[in-house]
Structure 1
Amino acid sequence: MCGIIGKNMGMTSIFLDNGENVPCTIIYSPPCYVVQVKTIENDGYFSIQLGVDEKKIVKTTKSLVGHFKKAGISPKRKLLEFRSESTPLFKAGSIIKVDLFKEGELVDVKGISKGKGFQGVVKRHNFSGVGESSHGQHNRLRAPGSIGAGSDPSRVFKGKKMAGRMGYKSVTIKNIKILKLDIHQYFIILKGSVPGNKNSYLMIKKKKWNSKF
């Protein structure tokens, strides 16, 4: 499986040929450079490492400068790895552009979801709260309630749904359709929404099979 690195530019809506208005996400994906090709002999698995967006040498560690120099390219700001089940067809230093895809194709998009911070059980796990505000329950509307028995087992089981940090996790949305493709300005318009904030990086993965549409 191969793909490219894109940047979430936000959402809008477009009209299709049949007059339907659909929500979509605009992805900007400049040319991605192959920084490293991993093989089973050297690394234990097949993959390619892609880099995108220029980065100043003075802001790059010496080890990474040597890593990029080995591939014959300048330092990149973002590095992401795409695994493969067979020997990759690309070599270090080659360029991958948006013409890797075509309109109507289905892709998988992976990114980091929006961080919500520390949230309670109502927002985090869709709890309904303990009860109504009548009969003296003035501060129990969004409380979690009982979290376990006291005597036996005298502890709280691991994995109990409670308040905690919400969001900022790796999320993959599968089978997103490519509505439009601009190979000259490096834009991809995907149907629906994708994980992450504006200007966040995304992995747009090419599937083994193409869409029938």
Structure 2
Amino acid sequence: MCNALIGRKLGMSTVYSPEGKQIPVTVVELGPCTVAQVKTESTDGYNSLQLSFGQRKEKRINSPVKGHLKKSGLTSTAALREVSVDNPEEFNVGQVITAEMFYVGEKVDVIGKTKGRGFSGVIKRHGFSGGRTTHGSHSVRIPGSIGCSAWPSRVTKGKRMPGAYGNDRQTVRNLEVVDIRPEENLVLLKGAVPGSTSGLVIVRKTKYAK
């Protein structure tokens, strides 16, 4: 059984439960994904599927990828990702997998890339409160002293400092599948998922269900 699919984050919305409770949801276009390659332990050392999702202009795809896609009958793809499977012999190259592999009420993990915020200071990056703004203070947004005294006379590893913020791979666990609309390839997940609108995400069956 395949345990994950590639999708695209479309944005957030609101739905209501039968009891009238408001539920914030993230709408994800999940699949359909085509099996581009089947990897087995005997040939590759591990079991997995390489899935293709979406379309891209053919002129934006290089020749090696085009040749690789021909084996599965594809001409273009927006993303290629590997997902683990227990028994790869259940799948064939060119097979299409849809969001119907999930069910309403199931818990899933969502993997995405957070929004990149560039070089940020300690207040934005780490939530520092900042210095005072009165009595001629010039230390409002700077981190302040970072070094140690005579020993160990260096900046300790892991010190929270200004730097690149965001653009990191992040996993959100145990999100509930609120609704599945297979005719539109849409899945509604309770809560927020990492990344910006139209960002690629991977939705997988969780191993850490609560």
Fold match (TM-score > 0.5)? yes
Q: Deviations over 1:121-174 (max 9, x none)?
A: 111112222x3233431x212221111125433332332210001111101111
Q: Deviations over 1:80-122 (max 9, x none)?
A: 11123x2233222100001111111111111001111111111
Query: Deviation of residue 190 (structure 1)?
Result: 0.7
Query: Deviation of residue 38 (structure 1)?
Result: 1.6
- Is the 2:173–2:206 Cα contact (8 Å) retained in structure 1? no
C-alpha distance in structure 2 between counterparts of 1:183 and 1:87, whole Å = 25
Which structure shows the higher strand fraction?
A: 1
C-alpha distance in structure 2 between counterparts of 1:97 and 1:64, whole Å = 23
1:120 alignment partner in structure 2: 121
Q: Deviations over 1:171-202 (max 9, x none)?
A: 11111111111111111111111010001111
Q: What residue ranges of structure 2 are gaps of 5+ in the alignment?
A: none
Are 2:196 and 1:197 aligned?
yes
Residues 210 and 156 of structure 1: CA distance in aligned 2, closer, same or farther (over 3 Å): closer
2:110 alignment partner in structure 1: 109
CA-based RMSD of the aligned residues comes to 1.9
C-alpha distance in structure 1 between counterparts of 2:169 and 2:92, whole Å = 28
Q: Which amino acid aligns with 2:117?
A: K
1:57 alignment partner in structure 2: 58
2:155 alignment partner in structure 1: 156
Q: What residue ranges of structure 1 are gaps of 5+ in the alignment?
A: none
C-alpha distance in structure 1 between counterparts of 2:56 and 2:120, whole Å = 36
Q: How many residues align?
A: 208
- Give % identity: 38
Q: TM-score, normalised by structure 2?
A: 0.91
2:100 alignment partner in structure 1: 99
C-alpha distance in structure 1 between counterparts of 2:72 and 2:134, whole Å = 69
Residues 72 and 154 of structure 1: CA distance in aligned 2, closer, same or farther (over 3 Å): same
1:76 alignment partner in structure 2: 77
Q: How does 1:161-176 map to 2 (within 5 A)?
A: 161-176=160-175
C-alpha distance in structure 2 between counterparts of 1:94 and 1:209, whole Å = 28
C-alpha distance in structure 2 between counterparts of 1:179 and 1:23, whole Å = 10
